[in-house]
Structure 1
């Protein structure tokens, strides 16, 4: 997407490096996306030699940059090195101070810490890695915003954000549960096609949210519905997804009662976010979709600004 003439030695690199994917962005001082590079090469399948080789591959593409930042599972116990969590409430300055400067091969990389919290609701612990970059990116583009945000995905985060700081949050594994339940096991045998926004999805949302029965019972009930002809195989994925999202939103309303009167930014993949938006709307909660790529880019720029303003050695 870029030409050599667009490159500057003052450009920075931001890397969102998760368990399964590697996404890198070359960013100009003025915030422009100069170039990007993605690869299905998460830390879980690489090991340290593979991670160093991938960084070398990236730097061969972009040899002339001023600083390199990385976030996500690269800073976990399965990544390059374990970077301790920063405790909430935490702003971008706290994350900048908690970053670890290390060499990956011959490349100097600033690895961002995740954030941990003890929830106000029940004093329960929770953790996140990588999502903090998207949150700070969203906040930098919306400086007057405070409230609740959701980051739908494999492990969906529901986050309270106030005064530019992450205050507390909780995580739902409903995305991973859906993936696993529809890939193998008894429920996989009834699923045909992808989950979509339809009447069956909303039936599932209502049942999951009402919680007249536990989620385990409701999930098996999806199989019984198909076997008894009350749910088509083509709609079963939608119904299952609805059950899981509806139950998750019930948790969100219990843990963060302010959600009921909020307008919630949904930061993430458009397809999944639209399912969440539809489910929330059916339950009387307003929301809007924020592109995770844009938020991530703005987050790395905010992190770079915080680190350079604190006179940190990021080069």
Structure 2
């Protein structure tokens, strides 16, 4: 393990009954010391994902938090730590579900000498009729639902990323969702293969991006028939490398939105919440606006912190009802 474990003890950890939330993915480890009022007292972020760790390595990560913060107390961990490559397989909670359902399905574990509640993923039958799963994003989703308060009716939340999640909520519960792999397709196609030599950059808002979005929205064609067009535009129309990347990004995001509108007709005229990287979220917001769909961009960390708090609150409510 690297020397991040030797960081000095935080001097600012105080407050009644602080808790710890851990988002532990395949590639990264993020942890927050959270006060009873939801304030972040301290945070740790390092590239120690479970895919690169054996059990001793996972134990060392938790021990490092204890060395930094003292006993962790109420500690919750989400993400791939609860998968079949993590510390223990926490399985999946079946949607439709509430945050109380998620809390009830969490797994009590001990990593080293530290008790940790491992949060399950979420599974559903998607609006396309096939199975779908998420692991880690459910905490952000329930955190946002807790932050926005009780709302009746349908809500739509998008988590843009490598594997974007399009999520349908109703009355504070997650009803179902579907996953789009546009981010991974973009990364792979611009790093190797036919389009790698004619693209540069991550894509940006502009005429080329808008053109890609419109092409995906209006052509009626699937992406398999549209993607090669990016190369043809570079060869025949002189599309520069940065514009080619933007056009490709537009095709992929526009295709996601077209799919979402087919699967969720209620999206038309609705407001969508985007949780994630602000720059990538802005790329989604622009074509959504072209469909007259308003979009708000919400900070991912804020939702994540609120999600751990919502899980603690749901567990406390359940214990009080059982008493």
- Bin the TM-score by the shorter chain: over 0.9
Q: Residues 77 and 3 from structure 1, CA distance in 2 versus in 1: closer, same or farther, beyond 3 angstroms?
A: closer
What SS class does the counterpart of residue 89 from structure 2 fall into? coil
Question: Is this contact kept in 2: 1:18–1:73, CA < 8 A?
Answer: yes
**1:282, distance to aligned residue in structure 2 (A):** 1.9
Question: Is this contact kept in 1: 2:23–2:77, CA < 8 A?
Answer: yes
Question: Is this contact kept in 2: 1:266–1:287, CA < 8 A?
Answer: yes
1:127 aligned to 2:133?
yes
Cα shift readout 1:195-235 (whole Å, capped 9, x = no counterpart): 11111001011111224332122111101111123411121
**1:309, distance to aligned residue in structure 2 (A):** 2.5
What residue in structure 2 maps to residue 234 of structure 1? 242
What residue in structure 2 maps to residue 142 of structure 1? 148
Q: TM-score, with normalisation over the residues of structure 1?
A: 0.94
**1:191, distance to aligned residue in structure 2 (A):** 1.1
1:111 aligned to 2:118?
yes
**1:8, distance to aligned residue in structure 2 (A):** 4.2
What residue in structure 2 maps to residue 258 of structure 1? 266
**1:154, distance to aligned residue in structure 2 (A):** 0.9
- Where does 1:202-281 land on structure 2 (aligned, <5 Å)? 202-281=210-289
Question: Is this contact kept in 1: 2:93–2:122, CA < 8 A?
Answer: yes
1:191 aligned to 2:199?
yes
What residue in structure 2 maps to residue 67 of structure 1? 74
Rounded to whole Å, the distance in 2 between the matches of 1:44 and 1:167 is 30
What SS class does the counterpart of residue 296 from structure 2 fall into? strand
Question: Is this contact kept in 2: 1:147–1:162, CA < 8 A?
Answer: yes
Q: Residues 48 and 6 from structure 1, CA distance in 2 versus in 1: closer, same or farther, beyond 3 angstroms?
A: closer
What residue in structure 1 maps to residue 29 of structure 2? 22
Rounded to whole Å, the distance in 1 between the matches of 2:171 and 2:67 is 40
Q: CA RMSD in A?
A: 1.8
Question: Is this contact kept in 2: 1:86–1:114, CA < 8 A?
Answer: yes
**1:187, distance to aligned residue in structure 2 (A):** 0.8
**1:7, distance to aligned residue in structure 2 (A):** 2.1
What SS class does the counterpart of residue 123 from structure 1 fall into? coil
Rounded to whole Å, the distance in 2 between the matches of 1:255 and 1:189 is 35
Q: TM-score, with normalisation over the residues of structure 2?
A: 0.92
Equivalent pairs, count: 311
The runs of 5 or more residues in structure 1 that have no matched partner are none
The runs of 5 or more residues in structure 2 that have no matched partner are 1-8
Question: Is this contact kept in 2: 1:211–1:247, CA < 8 A?
Answer: no
Question: Is this contact kept in 2: 1:10–1:65, CA < 8 A?
Answer: no
What SS class does the counterpart of residue 149 from structure 1 fall into? strand
**1:95, distance to aligned residue in structure 2 (A):** 0.4
**1:3, distance to aligned residue in structure 2 (A):** 5.4
1:93 aligned to 2:100?
yes
Question: Is this contact kept in 1: 2:155–2:169, CA < 8 A?
Answer: yes
